[in-house]
Each structure stands twice: as structure tokens, then as C-alpha cells.
């Protein structure tokens, strides 16, 4: 774990989460915030408000001010109604869905949450925070739904869970903080960060092109072949395909099919550590995919045969992201 | 200085709200604050508004510190101290404005609102009238609005609406706590010396002009509610300080002792009444001559007054019985008689000569009093609210030179003359008369009813009241002061006869204010007990009260929470009809499974209830058509469906 938190504190907060806040490991969606899951406590201002009221009460008693009592008690009422409204601002809110898109390490991962307000009153001043970074504020009109995006900064490759989200509000008076803890079952892959600056592709090993190295231009047209699903659209020979009735052709470029790039873990310079290797491989994969080249990936624990296209890229990046990490779900 | 981030920074609109809140809160204070302080506060508030409009920058910390120091110093100079009620309120007002100028974050803004709440409370130290309460409510509304606006961006009308709703919802809590919070009588700790400086009323002594000053105040001194008929005006003498020591100019009270029983016998002719005394920070009760009571908070003083054990610092109610014809003080000890004959050397020689002359001519003390009254009548004294100022021998100059005076002149001169004539006499100050408010029937006695009269001691009957003012101006006693004074223009506006409509309006308002005083301001430990006794509780124990309070507040809170949890059943009128249909069938034993559509379910139900198969099928089909069809159901369609469902009786 990268987080350097005090382990005792972590265990304590875990215990609190389970026992007091009834946090489930991963809840199924859609979820509705029942009253048992909503917690309210006074804020610092709320405590100051309470002390103010106490002083006012003592003054009323001392000076026997009937209206002093009345004002104090009215404000006590305001505090209690504020508490009730804070509670009402959260209760019965529904979290419809949560999803995340894969991203590269160092970029922010977007956690998209869809909330619905089934009630006749607006939900105001909601604040969604994720422990470990990411916050956003939103308001929900009566009987409406909205998508909220929490930008989560990423620091490690591998699986990124939506994690423990705190939905909180201080509406209406800022005297009371109401909150509920959400643990939606959503996660995404964080791919390794692509290496910068980009490093040249490794030498190809395909036959007949022995001296040809990575710098493969896209203007070295070498021929045509029948379209195969997965070919990049911009390599399709549209004019030619339009002339022929039921055939689509794909332009082939020099080295394209002939020179398959082989991104081999073992071929990398020995001075690179694991993460640096993964970064370089990631950069190569992104580069090769952008150039429409086929590539294979060889890692110490698995090998992915040469191909190209988004699905192939995803498979390769996933392998890189999860390299050396126990994949709980795969 | 740290710069707050956008989320917690105080925006200009927040500043406007705060400025409005503090301004409204300070407005009723302005009457009691020194003018320079009110002006500085206004200036600081304007500064805040200008800064929020971007016209000037907010002052730096150094400037604020300097302003604060200057204000504290000026307050100290103005009040000659910093502790106490008045300087405390002045400082609080100054600090609230300074806090506003210093506020840059929402947190600061909230602190300013809390200060505002304090200031609103402080208003009540100066007065608790309905108007003050209304002003405070406005201030509270704005303060709650300011708190709201710091959490939510909304137009001001919406914020006021939300704040109003909040206060409205808070009202039941206020009511429950106000009624049930155990009230503790009296102060918890020592109060500053100036705590009750604002109260008006009779003073402990009397010198020329002291009562006529009081007369100009229309403030209410006390109210009396009689069981049955109120006594006639000539019996309405409300006894205040009794003054038996005269130093030539000023009358002072003599030494008195306190007893738990009255110094007079009760008589058959009695008036039972409830006296509600406005606070005057003194001990005397202002009871009608001569009253008895069972109230444990009172004692009888040897000069025939009823006094309270503690100074009257808040409005108090007493159950009293008056015996106007009782003989009082028949067995006065010798030293008291002697004291009431004492006169200072060399003062008022002509008045003393008048008294001695009467003593020479008449033997019996009672006749001497009559002869003196006769002599006063012959002097043709004029009753006026604004007599000419008098010199050293006040009684002499009043009786023989200016011949115009107010009740204090009459009573003082008569007491001196009576003492000179060998009749023990003393001055009694208090109130005379009062006015029955036609709207609630209570007798209202104002400061303007203040009066001074004389008591003479006669060996057979004890103390007897003599009102020398009445000899020159009998209307004063029967018609009150407004009927007695010839120079109407010197009367306060509210007492002038041509302002009758104003007076009627005032009486009406007084009736409302009386209710307010009795039920809101006068709600104290005693009222609380009697109210709870009415509900069958033993109100004496504060633990019962606390338990009742907690229970009621808890129930209220649960009610609110239940309301928050309650969700209206979703769906439109059509769904309601369909649910009703399903309920009917389920009562008849046919339940719809969740997966069953309307047609499917109708088929099943029709099979189970063949006698109503047509109706059931029709309803199922009709519902499906209306629900899923192209056209939304009209009101007529719904009515038809409803009739059909209502008339469906399944055997």
C-alpha cells in the first residue's frame, strides 16, 4: 500500500465504518439512503451556536427576561429544525449507478455517479467527497436526476475502486453536518503512465525487414488487401471500395503487416525497473496503435500475440496494468 | 493574511445579508446607545456595504484594531466603567460591527451572526414590549436568512421565505420549551449596579417637583383587577413610601419595622383584587389602603405598607384584599407619635404660626385638622402642574406668596402645619385614581396618577387620611389629573381631552399589552406551577417539568422526522384507481403477482369470480388502454373507471 496512514487509525476507522456507519464492502446499485445510514453531528459553528444559546439562557435566567427565554428557545427550535432539514436533505436520495473509465496513472479517473431525487423537495448543497482525493458539489431539483463526476487523482496502476464516498451536506444553516457513506461497486483499471519522452520502438524481428527499425512512416504505401474487421478506418481505401461493389479494401503500409512489432519485456534495457518497463511498453502500445501497426506483447508471465485494434490494445494495457498484481476479479 | 479559497470566502451577497441583519438588530439599541456610538456603528456598516460593492477596500487589521481601541476607550469614558449592562451592550454593538468589517470567510460571517443573536437578546434588557419583540423577530429572520444564504445561493425573496418557514417550524419547540422549561425565580448571581437603571417610579423621598416630574410619564405603574365592582375613585389610594422625616425641604421615610401580620383590623367591606406591579426595583407593593394578603413573598411594614421581601425587578402579581374603612395604627408606640410631631428649627415660620394659631383656637385633634383644612381653603390655593420655583421656606412661599402648587406642595405644607398644631402627621406618596380599561376591565394606574397626601394620627381612630389637594381641587380625586388641571397644554399629549381618539386607541393597545405582560412577560415560576396544576401535574417539582419538556420536545422532533421519512405514494390518479381495484380483489382472495400485467391479472381474476367476469375484464382492459394507450386519460375516462371499480362488488 502506498498510503502511509497509521495502521491503528486505519483499523479503528474500519471498525467504525462497519459497526457504526454500517458500511458494506460494496453495495449493489441502485441504492437508497435509508434513515439508518444518515448521520448528523454539529459542525464547529453548530457547537458555537450551542454555546451562544447556553449563554443566552443563563442571561435570561439571571435577568429574568421572559423574551430572552423566548428568543433562546426559538433559536433552539431553529437549530432542531435545521437538524431535521439536514436529515431530510439526504434521506431517500437514490444512487442509481456508478461507473468509471480506465485511465492512465497520473491522470484523473472520472467516477460518474447518477443520483436521483425522488422527493418533492430539492436537495441543496450536497457535497460528495472521496477519501483519498476528489470532491464535487451539486444540487438536485425536485424529482430529478443528475450525473456527478468525481475526479479521482491516480497514483498507482492497477484496479481503482470507487472506494468510500462520503455524501455530506450542511444545508440549511451550516450548523449541522449530515452525511452518509457510499461504497458503490464500481472500479476501473489504471494503466501505467506512458513514458515521456517517447522512446523509439524496438527493432522488428519480422523476416526480410531485418534492418528496418521502428520509424515506420504511414506514407510508405505498400499494397491493398481485403478489409478485416478491426482495421483502422483511416486505412480503408474508400475510393477504391466505392468503385467495387461489395468489397472493401484496406491500404497496407510498409512494414504494417509484414513487420510486427514485438514488445518484449526481456528485450528492455536491464537498468530499467518494473514500473519504468511498464511505462515504456505502455507508450509503445499507444504509439503502435495510433500508427495502426500490429504488435505483440511479451511479459514474464504471459504473452499476447500480435494484432491491433482497440480490443487488442485494451487487452495489452490491462495486462500491463495488472502485471504483478493479484487480479481479484479476472 | 491567508486568502480563503472560493468555497469558504465571504461573497458580497453574504456581506449584504450580514450588514442588513446587524443593522436591524442595532436599530432598537440606538435609542439607548450614545449618539456617537450609533453613528460609528452606522458608518462601519456602510463601509462594509461599500466594500462589498467594490467601491472601497475592507480595512486592514491594524486599522480595525485602532478603531476598536478607540471605541473601547470612548465607551469607558462615556460610562466611566466597562462592566455593567449599558457599557456591555455598547461594546457588544461596536464589536458586532467591527466583526462584520473584519469578516472575510464564511466562518467569520457565522460568528457575526452569533454576535447578532446576542445583541437581539440584549434588546430585552432595555424593554420587552411587543414592538421590541417584533423588531427582534425581524432581526432573527434576517440572521437565519444570513446563515441560509451562506449555504445556498438563492434570490433574497426565496431566502426570506425559507427563513420564515424555518422560524415557523421552530415555533412549536419555542412554545413547548417556553412553557415547560423550569423557571427559576430571581437572579443566579449578582447583577451589575445599573441592571435596572431604566425603571421609573416613585422615589424614596419627596421634595418640591419630584412628583410633578413623574406625572409627565404615561408609563403604567401597575394594574389591578377587581373581583366585582372596583372601588370609587375616592377610595383608590395606592400606598407607596410613607415619609415622616422632614428636614426643611425634603421628606424622607422614617424607621419602620416589618411584621408578618397587618397593623390594622380587617373589616367587612373588602375588595378582592389582583395587583400586577410593573418592576420598579424597590420593595413597596403599591397596595390599596389597607390591604391584606396571604402571599408569602410579602411583609407588613409598621407604616401600614405591604412590602415585598425582594425588590420588584420583574412584573409580579399579588392576590390582595383591601379594607378601605379599616382603622389603622390605633396603638402606635409613643416614639412614633413623637417623631411625627418633629419639625426642623427655623424652617417655614409662617406655616408653623398658622398651625400654632389653630392649636390655640381648637382643642380636639380631629377639629384641629378640620380647622386647618378650612384655613387652606381660605388661602385659595391654585392647583397647577407647573408652579413657580420656590425658595428656602417652601411651605411658606407656597401658602402665602405664590399660592400655586402641586400635590407635593399641598401635602408637605399641610403636614408641617398639622405638626405645628400638635397633630402627628406624615406625608404618604403613592398613586391615586387610575382608569378602568373598558376593553379588559382592569384598572390601569399610570405614573401620571402619582400623588402625595397626608396622614394624621388621632388618638381614637389611629391614622386618618387627609388629602389637602382635594380641599382646593376636589376634581383631582374624582376625575383624575386631566380633569383637575386648568392649563391643559402643560399636560402630556396622551392626557389631553381633545385627543380622545388617541386615548381610546391607547386603551385598546393597553389591553393587548396587558395580556402580553400577564401571559408572556409575566410567565414565571409561579404561573408555571399554577398552569401545570391546571393540567393535573404537581408543578412544584422541576424534575417533572424537565421530564415533560424533554418528552414533548422529543415527540415534536420525532414528528418532524416522521414527516421527512414519509413519502407520498407515487403515481397518478389512474394508478390510484388500479391499486384500489387490486386491493378489492385481494380482499376477495385474488392477489396480483408482481409479474402480472393488467390483462393477465384480469383474466385470472375473472376465472376466480365468474359472476363479475365481465366487469373485471372490462376494468383490466380499460386500465391497460388508458395506461399504455396513445392518448392520456381524460377526466371523464378516470371518472368512468372509478365508478366501475366502486360498483364492483365481489361476493
Instruction: Give the residue from B295, B303, B199 showing the smallest Cα distance to B241.
Output: B303
Q: Which of B111, B139, B151, B315 to mutate to test the interface with A (most CBs of A within 10 A)?
A: B151
Residues of A in contact with B572 (CB under 8 A): none
Q: Which of B21, B41, B97, B407 is catalytic?
A: B407
- Segment B509-533 shows an average pLDDT of 78
Q: Which of A77, A91, A124 sits opposite B565 (nearest CB)?
A: A91
- Is A70 in contact with B520 (Cβ distance < 8 A)? yes
Measured CA to CA, the distance from residue A171 to residue B183 in angstroms comes to 34
Classify the phi-psi angles of B80: left when phi > 0, otherwise alpha if psi is within -120 to 50, otherwise beta: left
Of A191, A208, A238, which residue constitutes the final position of a domain? A191
Measured CA to CA, the distance from residue A250 to residue A211 in angstroms comes to 26
A184/A36 same-domain check: yes
Asked whether the predicted pLDDT for residue B486 surpasses 70, the reply is no
Q: Select the highest-mean-pLDDT range: A159-163, B173-177, B345-349, B493-497.
A: B173-177
Q: Is residue A327 part of a domain?
A: no
- The answer to whether B550 contacts chain A (CB < 8 Å) is no
Of A89-93, B476-480, B491-495, which gets the smallest average pLDDT? B491-495
Instruction: Give the residue from A172, A50, A56 showing the smallest Cα distance to B120.
Output: A56
The answer to whether the CB of A223 falls within 8 A of the CB of A246 is no
% pLDDT > 70, chain B: 90
Instruction: Give the residue from B22, B14, B195, B17 showing the smallest Cα distance to B117.
Output: B22
Asked whether the predicted pLDDT for residue B245 surpasses 80, the reply is yes
Q: Is residue B331 part of a domain?
A: yes
A32/A176 same-domain check: yes
- Is A69 in contact with B181 (Cβ distance < 8 A)? yes
Q: What is the pLDDT of residues B411-465, one digit of tens each?
A: 999 999 999 988 999 999 888 888 888 777 888 888 888 888 999 998 888 888 8
CB-based burial label for B525 (10 Å; 0-12, 13-18, 19+): middle
Q: Which of B85, B99, B121 to mutate to test the interface with A (most CBs of A within 10 A)?
A: B121
Q: What is the CATH number of the domain that holds A112?
A: 2.60.40
- Is A73 in contact with B178 (Cβ distance < 8 A)? yes
A185/A39 same-domain check: yes
Strand order in the sheet with B298-301: B258-259, B298-301, B306-308
B475/B583 same-domain check: no
B172/B244 same-domain check: no
| Alpha helices (runs of H) in B129-185, residue ranges in sequence order | 130-149, 156-180
Domain span holding position A269: 254-321
Residues of A in contact with B528 (CB under 8 A): none
Q: Is residue A219 part of a domain?
A: no
Q: Is residue A15 part of a domain?
A: no
Q: Which of A35, A71, A170 sits opposite B121 (nearest CB)?
A: A71
- Is A66 in contact with B523 (Cβ distance < 8 A)? yes
Total structural domains within chain A: 2
Residues of B in contact with A45 (CB under 8 A): 107, 110
Q: Is residue A64 part of a domain?
A: yes
Q: Is residue B514 part of a domain?
A: no
How many CB atoms lie under 10 A from the CB of residue B342? 12
Cell numbers of B308, please?
A: 415585598
- The answer to whether A106 contacts chain B (CB < 8 Å) is no
pLDDT for the residue A208: 40
Residues of B in contact with A84 (CB under 8 A): 169, 557, 560-561, 564
- Is B133 in contact with A70 (Cβ distance < 8 A)? yes
- Is A52 in contact with B150 (Cβ distance < 8 A)? no
- The answer to whether B174 contacts chain A (CB < 8 Å) is yes
Q: Is residue B515 part of a domain?
A: no
Q: Is residue B431 part of a domain?
A: yes
Residues of B in contact with A87 (CB under 8 A): 561, 564
Asked whether the predicted pLDDT for residue B358 surpasses 50, the reply is yes
B268/B376 same-domain check: yes
A37/A154 same-domain check: yes
- Segment B246-267 shows an average pLDDT of 82
Of A160, A175, A191, which residue constitutes the final position of a domain? A191
- Partners of B274 in the β-ladder: B225, B319
pTM over 0.90: no
Establish, for the pair of chains A and B, how many residue pairs have beta carbons separated by less than 8 Å. Answer: 154
Q: Which of B289, B467, B510, B615 is catalytic?
A: B467
Total structural domains within chain B: 4
Q: Which of B323, B409, B451, B609 is catalytic?
A: B451
The model's confidence at residue B2, banded by pLDDT at 50, 70 and 90, is very low
- Is B118 in contact with A52 (Cβ distance < 8 A)? yes
Q: Is residue A60 part of a domain?
A: yes
Of B159, B180, B201, which residue constitutes the final position of a domain? B180
A170 → chain B, closest CA residue? B151
B309/B425 same-domain check: yes
Q: Is residue B220 part of a domain?
A: yes
B412/B464 same-domain check: yes
pLDDT for the residue A211: 41
Q: Is residue A300 part of a domain?
A: yes
| Alpha helices (runs of H) in B103-129, residue ranges in sequence order | 106-126
Asked whether the predicted pLDDT for residue B100 surpasses 80, the reply is yes
The model's confidence at residue B484, banded by pLDDT at 50, 70 and 90, is low
Q: Which positions ≥6 away from A102 have C-beta within 8 Å? A: A109, A188, A189, A190, A191, A314, A317, A321
A151/A283 same-domain check: no
B120/B241 same-domain check: no
Classify the phi-psi angles of B462: left when phi > 0, otherwise alpha if psi is within -120 to 50, otherwise beta: left
- Is B136 in contact with A67 (Cβ distance < 8 A)? yes
Q: Which positions ≥6 away from B373 have C-beta within 8 Å? A: B466, B468, B471
B91/B215 same-domain check: no
The answer to whether the CB of A212 falls within 8 A of the CB of A255 is yes
Tell me the angle at which helices A66-90 and B130-149 cross, rounded to the nearest 10 degrees. 30
- Is B561 in contact with A84 (Cβ distance < 8 A)? yes
Residue given cell 485602532 in the structure block:
B66
A283/A179 same-domain check: no
pLDDT for the residue A329: 47
B325/B245 same-domain check: yes
Q: Is residue A40 part of a domain?
A: yes
A184/A309 same-domain check: no
Q: Is residue B315 part of a domain?
A: yes
Cell numbers of B443, please?
A: 384598572
Residue given cell 380641599 in the structure block:
B471
Domain span holding position B634: 573-646
A185/A267 same-domain check: no
Computed on alpha carbons and rounded to an integer, the radius of gyration of chain A in Å comes to: 29
Measured CA to CA, the distance from residue A107 to residue A152 in angstroms comes to 9
Classify the phi-psi angles of A237: left when phi > 0, otherwise alpha if psi is within -120 to 50, otherwise beta: beta
Q: What is the DSSP letter of A26?
A: S
Q: Which of A35, A77, A91 sits opposite B174 (nearest CB)?
A: A77
Which residues 298-357 of B have a C-beta within 8 angstroms of A? Answer: 313-314
- Segment B636-640 shows an average pLDDT of 87
| Alpha helices (runs of H) in B421-480, residue ranges in sequence order | 468-472, 475-479
The answer to whether the CB of B217 falls within 8 A of the CB of B448 is yes
A152/A44 same-domain check: yes
- Is A56 in contact with B117 (Cβ distance < 8 A)? yes
Residues of A in contact with B173 (CB under 8 A): 73-74, 76-77, 80-81
- The answer to whether A159 contacts chain B (CB < 8 Å) is no
Asked whether the predicted pLDDT for residue B257 surpasses 90, the reply is no
- Is B191 in contact with A63 (Cβ distance < 8 A)? yes
Measured CA to CA, the distance from residue B536 to residue B530 in angstroms comes to 10
Q: What is the pLDDT of residues A219-231, one digit of tens each?
A: 556 667 777 777 7
pLDDT for the residue B191: 56
A181/A281 same-domain check: no
Q: Is residue B105 part of a domain?
A: yes
Question: Do you find a cis peptide bond into A30, omega within 30 degrees of 0?
Answer: yes
| Alpha helices (runs of H) in B295-383, residue ranges in sequence order | 334-339, 349-361, 365-378
Active site residue B439: no
Cell numbers of B246, please?
A: 422632614
- Is B567 in contact with A92 (Cβ distance < 8 A)? yes
Q: What is the DSSP letter of A301?
A: T
B242 φ/ψ angles, rounded to the nearest 5 degrees: -105, 125
Q: Is residue B560 part of a domain?
A: yes
Residues of B in contact with A85 (CB under 8 A): 166
pLDDT for the residue A31: 81
Active site residue B451: yes
Q: Which of A38, A53, A74, A143 to mutate to test the interface with B (most CBs of B within 10 A)?
A: A74
Q: What is the pLDDT of residues B183-203, one digit of tens each?
A: 877 666 655 555 555 566 777
- The answer to whether A45 contacts chain B (CB < 8 Å) is yes
Q: Is residue A203 part of a domain?
A: no
A176/A32 same-domain check: yes
B614/B556 same-domain check: no
Instruction: Give the residue from A141, A50, A146 showing the smallest Cα distance to A96.
Output: A146
B561/B589 same-domain check: no
Measured CA to CA, the distance from residue A113 to residue B368 in angstroms comes to 104
- The segments of chain A whose pLDDT lies below 50 read 1-4, 206-217, 255-258, 329-330
* Interface ipTM above 0.85: no
Coil, strand or helix at B641: helix
Coil, strand or helix at B329: coil
A311/A178 same-domain check: no
In order, the DSSP letters of B228-277 are SSPPPGGG-EEEEEEEEEE-SS-EEE----EESS-SB---S--EEEEEEE
B238/B165 same-domain check: no
Asked whether the predicted pLDDT for residue B516 surpasses 70, the reply is yes
- The answer to whether A178 contacts chain B (CB < 8 Å) is no
Of A191, A214, A234, which residue constitutes the final position of a domain? A191
Q: Which of B177, B184, B560 sits opposite A84 (nearest CB)?
A: B560
Active site residue B591: no
Of B545, B565, B585, which residue constitutes the final position of a domain? B565
Of A25-39, B157-171, B369-383, which gets the smallest average pLDDT? A25-39
Of B514, B533, B565, which residue constitutes the final position of a domain? B565
Question: Where is A140: in which H helix or E strand?
Answer: strand A135-140
Q: What is the pLDDT of residues B7-63, one digit of tens each?
A: 678 888 899 999 999 999 999 888 888 899 999 999 999 999 999 888 888 888 898
Measured CA to CA, the distance from residue A77 to residue B181 in angstroms comes to 13
B287/B325 same-domain check: yes
Of A263-267, B77-81, B515-519, which gets the smallest average pLDDT? B515-519
A174 φ/ψ angles, rounded to the nearest 5 degrees: 75, 10
Q: Exposure string (b/e) for A248-259, b if CB count within 10 Å is 16 or more?
A: ebbbbbbbbbbb
Amino acid at each position: 500500500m502506498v498510503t502511509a496512514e497509521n495502521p491503528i487509525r486505519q483499523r479503528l476507522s474500519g471498525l467504525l465504518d462497519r459497526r457504526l456507519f454500517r458500511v458494506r464492502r460494496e453495495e449493489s446499485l441502485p441504492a437508497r439512503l435509508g434513515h439508518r445510514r444518515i448521520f448528523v453531528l454539529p459542525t464547529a459553528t453548530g457547537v458555537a451556536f450551542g454555546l451562544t444559546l447556553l449563554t443566552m439562557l443563563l442571561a435570561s435566567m439571571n435577568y429574568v427576561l421572559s423574551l430572552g427565554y423566548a428568543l433562546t428557545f426559538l433559536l433552539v427550535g431553529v437549530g432542531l429544525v435545521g437538524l431535521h432539514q439536514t436529515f431530510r436533505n439526504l434521506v431517500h436520495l437514490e444512487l442509481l449507478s456508478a461507473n468509471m473509465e480506465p485511465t492512465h496513472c497520473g491522470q484523473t479517473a472520472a467516477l460518474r455517479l447518477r443520483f436521483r431525487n425522488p422527493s418533492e423537495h430539492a436537495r441543496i448543497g450536497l457535497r460528495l467527497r472521496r477519501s483519498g482525493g476528489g470532491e464535487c458539489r451539486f444540487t438536485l431539483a425536485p424529482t430529478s436526476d443528475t450525473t456527478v463526476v468525481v475526479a479521482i487523482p491516480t497514483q498507482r496502476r492497477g484496479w481503482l475502486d470507487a472506494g468510500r464516498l462520503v455524501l455530506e451536506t450542511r444545508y440549511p444553516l451550516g450548523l449541522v453536518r449530515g452525511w452518509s457513506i457510499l461504497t458503490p461497486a464500481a472500479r476501473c483499471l489504471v494503466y501505467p503512465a506512458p513514458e515521456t519522452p517517447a522512446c523509439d520502438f524496438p527493432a522488428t524481428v519480422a523476416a526480410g525487414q531485418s534492418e528496418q527499425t521502428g520509424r515506420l512512416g504511414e506514407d510508405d504505401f505498400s499494397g491493398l488487401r481485403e478489409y478485416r474487421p478491426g482495421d483502422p478506418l483511416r486505412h480503408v481505401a474508400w475510393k477504391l471500395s466505392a468503385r467495387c461493389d461489395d468489397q472493401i479494401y484496406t491500404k497496407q503500409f510498409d512494414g504494417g503487416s509484414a513487420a510486427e512489432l514485438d514488445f518484449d519485456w526481456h528485450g528492455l534495457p536491464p537498468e530499467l525497473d518494473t514500473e519504468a518497463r511498464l511505462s515504456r511498453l505502455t507508450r509503445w502500445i499507444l504509439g503502435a496503435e495510433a500508427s495502426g501497426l500490429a504488435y505483440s506483447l511479451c511479459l514474464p508471465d504471459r504473452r499476447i500475440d500480435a494484432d491491433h485494434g482497440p480490443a487488442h490494445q485494451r487487452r495489452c494495457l490491462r495486462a500491463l496494468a495488472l502485471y504483478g498484481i493479484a487480479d481479484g476479479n479476472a | 493574511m491567508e486568502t480563503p479559497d472560493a468555497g469558504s470566502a465571504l461573497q458580497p451577497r453574504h456581506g449584504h445579508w450580514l450588514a442588513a441583519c446587524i443593522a436591524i438588530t442595532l436599530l432598537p439599541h440606538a435609542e439607548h446607545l450614545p449618539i456617537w456610538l450609533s453613528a460609528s456603528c452606522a458608518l462601519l456598516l456602510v463601509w462594509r456595504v461599500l466594500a462589498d460593492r467594490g467601491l472601497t477596500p475592507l480595512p486592514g487589521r491594524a486599522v480595525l484594531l485602532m478603531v476598536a481601541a478607540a471605541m473601547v476607550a470612548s465607551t469607558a469614558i462615556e460610562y466611566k466603567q466597562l462592566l455593567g449592562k449599558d457599557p456591555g451592550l455598547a461594546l457588544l454593538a461596536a464589536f458586532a460591527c467591527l466583526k462584520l468589517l473584519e469578516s472575510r470567510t464564511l466562518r467569520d460571517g457565522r460568528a457575526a451572526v452569533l454576535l447578532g443573536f446576542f445583541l437581539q437578546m440584549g434588546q430585552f434588557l432595555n424593554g420587552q414590549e411587543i414592538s421590541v419583540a417584533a423588531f427582534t423577530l425581524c432581526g432573527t429572520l434576517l440572521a437565519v436568512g444570513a446563515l441560509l444564504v451562506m449555504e445556498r445561493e438563492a434570490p433574497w425573496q426565496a431566502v426570506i421565505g425559507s427563513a420564515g418557514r424555518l422560524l415557523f417550524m421552530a415555533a412549536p419547540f419555542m412554545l413547548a420549551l417556553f412553557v415547560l422549561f423550569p423557571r427559576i425565580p430571581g437572579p443566579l448571581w449578582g447583577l451589575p449596579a445599573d441592571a435596572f437603571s431604566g425603571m421609573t417610579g416613585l422615589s424614596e423621598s419627596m421634595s418640591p417637583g419630584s412628583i410633578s416630574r413623574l406625572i409627565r410619564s404615561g408609563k403604567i405603574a401597575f394594574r389591578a383587577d377587581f373581583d366585582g365592582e372596583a372601588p370609587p375613585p375616592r377610595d383608590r389610594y395606592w400606598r407607596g413610601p410613607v415619609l415622616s422625616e422632614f428636614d426643611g425641604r425634603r421628606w424622607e421615610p422614617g424607621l419602620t419595622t416589618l411584621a408578618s401580620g397587618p397593623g390594622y383590623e380587617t373589616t367587612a367591606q373588602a375588595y378582592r383584587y389582583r395587583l400586577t406591579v410593573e418592576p420598579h426595583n424597590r420593595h413597596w407593593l403599591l397596595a390599596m389602603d389597607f390591604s391584606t394578603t396571604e402571599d408569602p413573598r410579602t411583609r407588613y411594614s409598621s407604616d401600614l405598607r405591604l412590602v415585598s421581601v425582594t425588590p420588584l425587578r420583574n412584573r409580579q402579581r399579588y392576590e390582595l384584599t383591601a379594607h378601605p374603612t379599616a382603622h389603622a395604627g390605633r396603638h402606635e408606640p409613643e416614639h412614633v407619635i413623637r417623631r411625627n410631631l418633629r419639625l426642623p428649627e427655623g424652617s417655614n415660620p409662617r406655616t408653623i404660626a398658622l398651625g400654632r394659631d389653630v392649636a390655640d383656637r381648637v382643642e380636639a385633634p380631629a377639629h384641629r385638622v378640620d380647622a386647618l383644612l378650612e384655613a387652606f381653603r381660605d388661602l385659595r390655593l391654585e392647583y397647577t402642574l407647573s408652579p413657580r420655583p420656590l425658595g428656602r421656606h417652601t411651605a411658606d412661599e407656597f401658602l402665602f406668596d405664590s399660592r400655586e402648587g402641586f400635590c407635593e406642595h399641598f401635602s408637605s405644607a399641610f403636614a408641617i402645619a398639622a405638626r405645628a398644631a400638635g397633630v402627628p402627621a406624615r406625608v404618604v406618596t403613592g398613586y391615586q385614581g387610575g382608569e378602568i380599561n373598558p376593553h379588559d376591565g382592569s384598572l390601569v394606574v399610570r405614573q401620571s396618577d402619582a400623588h402625595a397626601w397626608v396622614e394624621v394620627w388621632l388618638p381614637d381612630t389611629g391614622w386618618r387620611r387627609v388629602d389637602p389637594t382635594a380641599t382646593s381641587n376636589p376634581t383631582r380625586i374624582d376625575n383624575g389629573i386631566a380633569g383637575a388641571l386648568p392649563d391643559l397644554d402643560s399636560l402630556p399629549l396622551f392626557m389631553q381631552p381633545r385627543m380622545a381618539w388617541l386615548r381610546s386607541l391607547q386603551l385598546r393597545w393597553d389591553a393587548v399589552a396587558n395580556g402580553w405582560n400577564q401571559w408572556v412577560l409575566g410567565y414565571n415560576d409561579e404561573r408555571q406551577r399554577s398552569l401545570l396544576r391546571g393540567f393535573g401535574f404537581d408543578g412544584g417539582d422541576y424534575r417533572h417539568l424537565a421530564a415533560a419538556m424533554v418528552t414533548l420536545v422529543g415527540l415534536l422532533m420525532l414528528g418532524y422526522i416522521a414527516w421527512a421519512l414519509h413519502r407520498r405514494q407515487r403515481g397518478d390518479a389512474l394508478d390510484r384507481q388500479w391499486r384500489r381495484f387490486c386491493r378489492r380483489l385481494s380482499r376477495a382472495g385474488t392477489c396480483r403477482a408482481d409479474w402480472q400485467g393488467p390483462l393477465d391479472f384480469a383474466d385470472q381474476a375473472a376465472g376466480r369470480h365468474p359472476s363479475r367476469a365481465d366487469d373485471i375484464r372490462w376494468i383490466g382492459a380499460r386500465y391497460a388502454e388508458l395506461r399504455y394507450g396513445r392518448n392520456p386519460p381524460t377526466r371523464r375516462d378516470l371518472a368512468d373507471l372509478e365508478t366501475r371499480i366502486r360498483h364492483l362488488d365481489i361476493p
